[in-house]
Structure 1
Amino acid sequence: MILEYYIVDMKNRKLVYHYKNPNSNYQPDEDYTSEFATAIAKISSMLSPDMSEKIQRIQTTSFKIFFEVINDHVFMLVASADHDDLELSYALTELMNNSLPLLE
């Protein structure tokens, strides 16, 4: 299940957009989530310095976090750990494509 979708501005570390599934148990507040998204985006450049992997993924026992950085914005999707990776990757791509024009 897709639980949350965030867009975070990396320059000022502020949440630009947040969608929360009504059934979501994911609880972090906006400031924490903004800091977290910015931190993982910075770390991802070390994990894939050639940027060959645009969409990055972090998985815990409870959650999968898919994210991508475009134009100083972090697009982050939080889902339950049992959700299909391909579907999440596709969902994040679709959400980003629809969100980018709104950020210009």
Structure 2
Amino acid sequence: MRLLLDENLPKRLKQDFPAHEVFTVRDKQWNGIKNGELLKLMVADGFHALLTFDKNLQYQQNFSKYTITVFVLTARISTYEVLTGLSAKVEKHLNSGRMTAGPIIISQ
């Protein structure tokens, strides 16, 4: 699967998903692009999922227009040491074969 890490996540999180093709927003040179436009770029570039720490994204977008799953990582802080604890839950969804468009909340 092709995954994109939003700019609000530590880039080290890429290493938690070795079975997938993982990029950061910076890797794609999409820094500063608003969420709606980012989702359009992701669809056009063949991405399957976005991982983000932006809890408001799920309320700001009409996901019926996109085929992207958005994993909203919820934790007290957005450090790698904390968020790596959520990676197994994300991986479980990725491997389930039941990816749906729209937000999936992943919390501790």
Taking structure 2 as the reference length, what is the TM-score of the superposition?
Answer: 0.33
More strand by share: 1
Taking structure 1 as the reference length, what is the TM-score of the superposition?
Answer: 0.33
